[in-house]
Amino acid sequence: MKLRVLGCSGGIGGRHLRTTSLLVDHDILIDAGTGVADLSIAELAVIDHVFITHTHLDHIASLPLMIDTVADRRNKPLTVYGTEAVLTILRNHIFNWAIWPDFSEVPNPEKPFMRYQAIELGQTVTLDGRSFTALPVEHTVPAVGYHVSSGAASLVFSGDTGICNAFWRAVNRIPDLKHLIIECAFSNREQRLATLSKHLCPDMLAAELQKLERECEIHITHLKPGQIELTMEEIEQCLGDFKPRMLQNNQIFEF
C-alpha cells in the first residue's frame, strides 16, 4: 500500500501550502482539501472512494469540484464515506443545490455521480485488501480519525482533534502500528485558541503522546501558516524524545 500526501497544511498561501488530503494508491482519498487540485484530470477520474474525517472546508474544499470535473469520465458513482453526522452536514450544507448540486441525485437517483456510505466508529471498510477503520477524536464538529491497514502494517491519521483519551485507547490496540500522523495546529502562545477550537499545540501534544503505548514514527500535520517554524521549534523542545517529523507535501509512505 502506498499513501501520498497531497496536502497537510492548516491553511493556504504559496505553492507549498495545500490543505489536508491523503491519496491511498491511486483510487482512495482520505479527506479532500485543496491538495487534491494538484492532481491531473486523469488522476482525479480514477478515484472511487473518499473517506471524510469531518466537514470543515480545509478538509472537503475540493470534493464538490472534483466530482463536477470528472463525472463525465466515470461509469460509476464516487463513494463518500463518513459517519452519519458527517454525511448529514454534507447533504444539508454543501450538496444542497444552494451551495452545490446534489450529486447523489444527478444525473438521476438511480445512477448518480456520488453516493453516500455511512460508517460507525470502530467499523472497518475493506477495499481490495486495504482496511480503513474510523477512530474516535474530539473536535468542534462531528469528526473521526482513520486507522489504515495494508495487512502488513498500519498507519493512523488523527484528522483534527484536541485532547481525546478514546483516540489513544484505540491507537494502543493496533499491534502493527508503523506511522502516526498527528495534528498540531497552533504554537504554545495560542494554547487558549487551540483549546477553544479543539486542536493541539506542542505542550498539549506532549501530554497526549504520554498516552501512546506503541513505538512508531510520528509525523506532524496541520501546522498553521505563519507559525510553522515557531511551532516546530516548540515541538522539538518538548517532544524531542519522540523524534517527530513535519509532514511534507508529496511525502510517500509505503507500508
Band of pLDDT at residue 116, cut at 50, 70 and 90? very high
Interval 184-222: pLDDT, tens: 999 999 999 999 999 999 999 999 999 999 999 999 999
pLDDT at position 251 is: 98
For residue 240, the model assigns a pLDDT of 86
Q: Hey, what CATH topology would domain 2-254 get?
A: Metallo-beta-lactamase; Chain A (3.60.15)
Confidence of residue 14 (pLDDT cuts 50, 70, 90): confident
Share of the chain above pLDDT 70, in %: 100
Residue 105 has a pLDDT of 97
Domain map (residue ranges) of the chain: 2-254
Tens of pLDDT, residue by residue over 150-163, are 999 999 999 999 99
CB 85 within 8 A of CB 119: no
Q: Is the pLDDT of residue 16 over 90?
A: no
Residue 211 to residue 190: CA distance in whole angstroms: 23
> What mean pLDDT, rounded, does the chain reach?
97
Position 192 scores a pLDDT of: 97
- Is residue 79 exposed (0-12), middle (13-18) or buried (19+ Cβ within 10 Å)? middle
Determine what percent of the chain is predicted with pLDDT higher than 90. Answer: 98
DSSP 3-state helix, strand, coil percentages of the chain (rounded to 5)? Answer: 30, 25, 45
Mapping DSSP to helix (H, G, I), strand (E, B) and coil, where does residue 102 land?
Answer: coil
**pLDDT value at residue 162:** 98
Cα 239 to Cα 95: distance, rounded to the nearest angstrom: 41
User: Is residue 38's pLDDT more than 90?
Assistant: yes
At residue 216, the pLDDT reads 98
Nine-digit cell at 234? 516548540
Q: In the predicted model, is pLDDT for residue 15 greater than 90?
A: no
Average pLDDT over residues 70-93: 97
10-14, 96-100, 112-116: segment of lowest average pLDDT = 10-14
Task: Evaluate if residue 91 carries a pLDDT over 90.
Answer: yes
Give pLDDT, residue 9.
Answer: 97
